């Protein structure tokens, strides 16, 4: 079972998924406009805008 927890400005999110998720993040888009504290250190490719 995969447990996922997170938070955002609208509250917190918590849910559990049986097994591994069918897809995983492949890249971070809009990297230049992110909050400084978010999504760093995960090794995904980073793009300032939507990749073409």
Tell me which residue has tokens 């509250």. Answer: 11
What pLDDT shows up at residue 42?
80
User: What pLDDT does residue 38 have?
Assistant: 77
Which positions of the chain have pLDDT values less than 50?
A: none
pLDDT attached to residue 18? 76
Task: Tell me the domain boundaries of the chain.
Answer: 21-52
User: What are the DSSP calls for the chain, one per residue?
Assistant: -EEEEEEETTEEEEEEESSS-S-----B-SGGGS-TTSS-SS---B-SS---
| pLDDT value for 33 | 87
pLDDT at 51: 78
pLDDT for res 10: 64
Question: What pTM does this model have?
Answer: 0.47
């Amino acid at each position: 079972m995969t447990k996922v927890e997170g938070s955002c400005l609208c509250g917190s999110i918590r849910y559990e998924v049986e097994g591994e998720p069918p897809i995983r993040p492949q890249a971070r888009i809009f990297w230049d406009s992110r909050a400084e504290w978010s999504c760093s250190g995960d090794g995904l490719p980073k793009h300032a805008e939507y990749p073409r």
